[in-house]
Structure 1
Amino acid sequence: MSNLQPRPVLGEPARYTFPKPQRVKAGGGTVVAIDIPGQPYVAVRLVQTAGGAGEPLEHMGVATLVNEVLEDGFDGNSSLAPALERYGAEWVSRIGWDSFITGVDAPANRIKDAVSLFAAAVRTPALRTEDVVRRRDQLVERFWLEASVASTLAARTIGGQLFTGRYATPLSGGPVHQQELTPETVRRFHADNIASVAGTLVVVGDLTGVDLEEIGRTVFGDAAPAPQRRTVAPEGAPGELPRVVVLDRPGSVQSAIVLAHRAPARAEVDLPKVEGMSDVLGGMFTSRLNMELRERLGYTYGVGCRFDLRRDSGVFVISTQVEAPTTAHSVTATLEQIRKLQDEGVTESELNAVRESNTVGMPVSYATAGRLAGALVESVVHDLPEDHVDRLRAGFDRLTADDLRDSAREYLHPQEAVVIVAGDAESLRGPLEETGVGPVTVRDPETLWT
C-alpha cells in the first residue's frame, strides 16, 4: 500500500506590494531608500544622467570610457576593487543611453566605510593618463572581439539603420571614435558631468542605524543638483523601408537575424500592454516565434523579441540564429507570425500565461536588495512614480485579449522594419531577394564603423 500523501491544494498566490521608499534631501541631491530589516547586504546606486544619448558627436563613447576608468580608483592602476574588498564591498557600474550608474554592494555593518571609498572613487578618481589609454585600448579590442560574434555584429548594426545622430553609432562609440578620445577629454567629461553633478542616490537594505542624510552628504559633497533633462526625438535614418541588409561573413554556416524598427519612448507606451504582447510574440519559451521557428520548423535553438524603450525614443527587436539554408524562410515565417498576431489576436491560454509570468513571480523578482535597487533606479531614470511596480502589476492583472491584439496592431510595424542578416552573402542574397521583403544590400562588416 502506498504511503504517499495527497498533494496539497495550492492557494491563491500572495499579492505583491512594492515597499514604499523614503526620500531624504542631502546637499544638491536626493537619497531614495528602502529599509529591509534583516537584509545584511546593502545596495547603493548613484544615478546620474550622463548617458550615451547626451554625448557630443565629436566625443562619442566618452561616457563608456569614463565608466570604465572609474574602476581604477582614486589611486589609479585598478586600485578600487582591493580597497573595497577590505570592507567586503563590490563595485557596480553600468552605462546606458539615458543614465550613468555607479554603486557598491556592501555589508550593512560596513556601509559607512564602503560609501566613503565609493564617493572618493566617483568624485575624485585619479584618471591617470596611462589608465585612460589602457582602458581605451581594451575597449577597442573588446569591441572587435565581441563583433566577431554574428549576433553581436547584427545587433550593433541596428542603430545605424534606424537613426541618424548619436544613436547611429554603438553606445561605446565604436573603435574609431574610442581611439580619438584623449585623457583630457575624459577628465573634462568627468568634471562637467560626474564630479560636479549630485544625482540621485538609491540605498536598499537593512538600514538600522544608517544615517541616510549623512550618506547622501558623503556621496554628493558640494556637487550641484542635476540639470533639467531635455528630450528630443532623434531623426530617422534615410533609405527605403522595409529593407534587408546582409553583413557578409563568407562561409558562415549560420545566420544571425535581427528584425528591428523604431518604437515610441518609455513614457509614451502602456507598458503592460506592450510587454504582454511582446511576451506572446517572442518573450516566453511558449511564444509564437519560438513555437514556430524552434519547435515546429527546427531552425533555431531559440528566438526572442523585446522593446528597448528610452527617454526619447525606442526600438523593437526580434533576434535569432538559424542554419544558413533556412535564413530566408525564417524571415518570412517571422513576418507571418506578426501578421497572425495582428489579425487574430491571442488565445485565453496566452493571456493567462502573460498575466502569471508578470505577476506571480514578483516576490522572487524583488527578493534581493539589488533587484529592489534596480526598480528604484528605473523610476529615477524614467521619472516614474514611486509605486510604478504596483501599477505594472495592476496593469497586467487588467490585461484583456483585445488589449494585446490592439497593442500588436499599434506597436508592431514590419512595413517600417530593417532586417539585418549576418551571414554568407553569396548564398543568402538570392533567397532573401526572392522573399520580396525589400531591397537587399550587402555590407562588409569591417567598414561599418570606419
Structure 2
Amino acid sequence: MSKLQLRPTLGAPKPYTFPKPSRVRVGNGTVVAIDVPGQSYVAVRLVQPAGGAAEPLDRMGVAGLTNESLEDGVQGNSSLAPALERHGAEWVSRVTWDSFVTGVDAPANRVVDATALLAEAVRTPALRPQDVLRRRDQLVERFWLEASVASTLAARSIGGQLFAGRYATPLSGGPARLQEITPELVAEFHSEAVASVAGTLVVVGDLTNIDVAELGKTVFGDAEAAPARPVTTPGSASGELPRILVLDRPGSVQSALVFAHRAPARAEIDLPRAEGMSDVLGGMFTSRLNMELRERLGYTYGVGCRFDLRRDSGVFLISTQVEAPTTAHSITATLAEIERLQADGVTEGELAAVRESNTVGLPVSYSTARSLAGALVEMVVHDLPEDHVDRLRAGFERVTAEDLHQAAREYLRPRESVVIVAGDAKELRGSLEETGFGPVEVRDPESLWT
C-alpha cells in the first residue's frame, strides 16, 4: 500500500511588477498599450470622460442609455454582436460616474477587424429611435427587477441619503428620469460627448504584428481632444446625521442593511491605509464584522465593506443581510466593532493578513489581458501614474499596524452615517428606535425615484 504524500511546502511569494505600458499620441487621442507575449486574446478599451457625474439633472441616465444603444451597431436591431462574432470577438462596455467605456476582446489575428467595428459603433451608430426606445424600456424594466432584491434596493438608496445633485439619483438615472430620455436626447449626447471626443485607447495582449498607432487612427479618426474634467465637491443631502432609513418591505423575514457615509475623493485617500483598514473591519472572511455577525452571532451568511471612490468624492459602506429579528442588534454590534477598531487598532495577525491578501495574489489578479486592461482604464480615469499598481503593492508591503489604526480614526465616521434597512417597517421600527443611533424614517421604496 502506497503512503499518502505530504502536502508540498509553499515557497516564498514571487515578486510582482506591473508591466510598463507604452504611450503614443495619435491625432487628438492617446493609445496606452501593454505587450503581453503569448496572450493571444487582445483587450481593447476606449475610455472617454462622459460619465454619469457630468450629466445635466434633466438628462440623468442619458449616458447609460447611449452606452446600451451602441450595441445596436451601425445597422440597428442589435447588429453589432453578430458582426463581432464573425471575428471571434466580444463587445465590452460600461458607464461609471467618471467614465464612458467601450471596447472589444478579440483574438490577436482578428483585432484589427474587431477594432474597426468598435470604431463604427462608437462614431457612427444607427441610433434608430425604435432601438433607443426598446433599450430604454429594457433598462427601466431591469431597474425595477433588480430593485426587487432587498440588497440592491438598499444600495441604490445610498446616494439620495448622502448627496445632493446628480449623485442623489442612481447612476442609471432611475425609472422616472429614464422615461424622460428621448431618442433625440440620446443622439445629441452621443454627438457632443462620444462621437466627437477622441479619448484614450487601451490595448493589451500579444501585440506582435499589431500596429497600435494604426488602431488609434481607426478609433480616433478626426475626433477632438477630450475636454478637461473639472472636479467640484458635490453637495450633501439634507437631514440629520446619523439616522436610519427603513425601506418598507412588509412581510420580509430578512433585512438588508447598508451602513454608509461620505469618504474623500480618489485622489485624496491613501489606499493602502484605507483599504487595509477596510479589510480588517469587513473586507476579508476573517474580518471582525464577519467573525462577529456570522461566526459568533450567526445572524448572516456574510458581511462586507468597501470604499466607492470617485474623482470628486467617495462613499464608505458596509453591507449585509440578516434575519429580521436581529436587525437592531446587528446595527449596534457593527457600531461596537467600529468603536473597538478605532480605540484599540489592529493586531499583528490582522496586519499580516492585509499584507498577504493585497500582494501575494497579484500575479493571478493581472494574469489576463482583460484584467491588465481594467487596471489601465482605472489609471486613465483617475489620472494615476503608470506604476500605480507597483506603488500600491509597495504601500501594502510597508503599511504598519499604526497606519491602519490611524486610518480607522480618520476614515470611519459613524456619527456622519446613514443606516439603510430594507425590511418590514412595522416589525422593525420600535427596536431600531431603541438603538439610539438616530431618528428613524420609513419610506415606500417606490417613492424614492418617482
TM bucket by the smaller chain?
Answer: over 0.9
Q: Which amino acid aligns with 2:281?
A: L
Partners in 2 of 1:163 and 1:10 — Cα distance? Answer: 48
Which residue is 2:231 aligned to? 231
1:316-354 alpha-carbon deviations (Å, 9 max, x no partner) = 000000000000000000000000010011111110000
Which residue is 1:429 aligned to? 429
Q: CA deviation at 1:446?
A: 1.3
Partners in 2 of 1:446 and 1:60 — Cα distance? Answer: 18
Which residue is 1:211 aligned to? 211
Which residue is 1:171 aligned to? 171
Which residue is 1:370 aligned to? 370
TM-score, normalised by the number of residues in structure 1? 0.99
Which residue is 2:328 aligned to? 328
Q: CA deviation at 1:4?
A: 4.5
Which residue is 1:382 aligned to? 382
Which residue is 2:132 aligned to? 132
Which residue is 2:251 aligned to? 251
1:19-71 alpha-carbon deviations (Å, 9 max, x no partner) = 00000111110000000011110000000000000000000000010010001
Q: Which amino acid aligns with 1:290?
A: N
* Equivalent runs, 1:144-159 vs 2, <5 Å: 144-159=144-159
* Equivalent runs, 1:71-150 vs 2, <5 Å: 71-150=71-150
SS at match of 1:19: coil
Q: CA deviation at 1:8?
A: 4.0
Query: Unaligned stretches of 5+ in structure 1?
Result: none
Q: Which amino acid aligns with 1:322?
A: V
SS at match of 1:146: helix
Q: CA deviation at 1:93?
A: 0.3
In the alignment, structure 1 residue 19 sits paired with structure 2 residue 23: no
Q: CA deviation at 1:5?
A: 5.0
Which residue is 2:185 aligned to? 185
Which residue is 1:447 aligned to? 447
Question: What is the aligned-residue identity percentage?
Answer: 78
Q: CA deviation at 1:398?
A: 0.4
Which residue is 2:70 aligned to? 70
Q: CA deviation at 1:272?
A: 0.6
Query: Unaligned stretches of 5+ in structure 2?
Result: none
Partners in 2 of 1:262 and 1:449 — Cα distance? Answer: 21
Partners in 1 of 2:377 and 2:446 — Cα distance? Answer: 37
Q: CA deviation at 1:12?
A: 1.5
Partners in 2 of 1:415 and 1:92 — Cα distance? Answer: 40
Q: CA deviation at 1:3?
A: 3.9
Partners in 2 of 1:110 and 1:217 — Cα distance? Answer: 17
1:368-413 alpha-carbon deviations (Å, 9 max, x no partner) = 0000000000000000000000000000000110000100000000
Q: Which amino acid aligns with 2:331?
A: V
Q: CA deviation at 1:253?
A: 0.5
Give the number of equivalent residue pairs: 450
Q: CA deviation at 1:144?
A: 0.7
Partners in 2 of 1:269 and 1:147 — Cα distance? Answer: 31
SS at match of 2:410: helix
Note the aligned Cα RMSD (angstroms).
0.8
Partners in 2 of 1:35 and 1:215 — Cα distance? Answer: 14
Which residue is 2:301 aligned to? 301
Which residue is 2:29 aligned to? 29
Partners in 2 of 1:149 and 1:369 — Cα distance? Answer: 33
1:205-229 alpha-carbon deviations (Å, 9 max, x no partner) = 0000111111000000000010111
In the alignment, structure 1 residue 394 sits paired with structure 2 residue 418: no
Question: Where do 4+ consecutive residues of structure 1 move more than 3 Å?
Answer: 1-9
SS at match of 1:359: coil
Partners in 2 of 1:92 and 1:380 — Cα distance? Answer: 17
Q: CA deviation at 1:9?
A: 3.5
